[in-house]
Amino acid sequence: MTNITLFILKHIQFLAYLLNQPLLEHIKSRKQNVRHTMIFIYIPLLLVVSCSNPNQFNWPSINYIIDHKFPGVKNIHIKQLKKLLSTNPNTIIVDVRQPEEFNVSHLKNSINIYKVNSFVRRFPDKNKTYIIYCSVGYRSGNMVFNLKKLGYSNAYNLRGGIFQWVNNGNPVYHNKRLTNIVDPYNRNWGKLLDEKYHP
């Protein structure tokens, strides 16, 4: 078992212990607030720890963090997206990375919007299907989480982001031309991207 896994389990056990202590009945009566504390304090801590140790920075760790940081977010997996695009090539795909990342490469026909208010102005229809992605799914998870609160019921986070998309041999584009380069974001995030796609 990896160190990051042990770290996560120990903190989950500690929090579970706190939630069941008689001395903390006043806290138990506010379990929702405690859960929010777990999500908004401990999960970012786990992200910092995993980022600080590149050897433990892996897909199970990042997916665990994303799932707990952004509960209720709908995911779409790569195979599902490919099937969707084969039947509906006009599906709206939004890249929420920074423009400099998008300019290196992106999914075909994707649109670069990284702010929620910009998304809402561009796409006011809350009933359409939107596929949102970033490098690994964290920033896009955050976008989908916020869109869901605004009533966008068919916004989906691409599981694994553009990194897993290319790691599985799928195409990315630069100026409407195929390319094999993806922005790795930084050294640690880049550990999740196959080296052959690094600049």
Residues in contact with 133: Cβ distance below 8 Å, sequence separation at least 6, in sequence order: 93, 94, 95, 96, 107, 110, 140, 157, 158, 161, 162, 165
Residue 55: which pLDDT band, with cuts at 50, 70 and 90? low
pLDDT digits (tens, 9 = 90+) for 132-143: 999 999 999 999
Return the pLDDT at 57: 77
**Domain extent listing, the chain:** 3-69, 75-197
* 3-state secondary structure (DSSP) of residue 48: helix
The predicted model scores a pTM of 0.75
Fold of domain 75-197: Oxidized Rhodanese; domain 1 (3.40.250)
Instruction: Give the number of other CB atoms < 10 A from CB of residue 69.
Output: 19
What is the tens place of the pLDDT at every residue in 104-132? 999 999 999 999 999 999 999 999 999 99
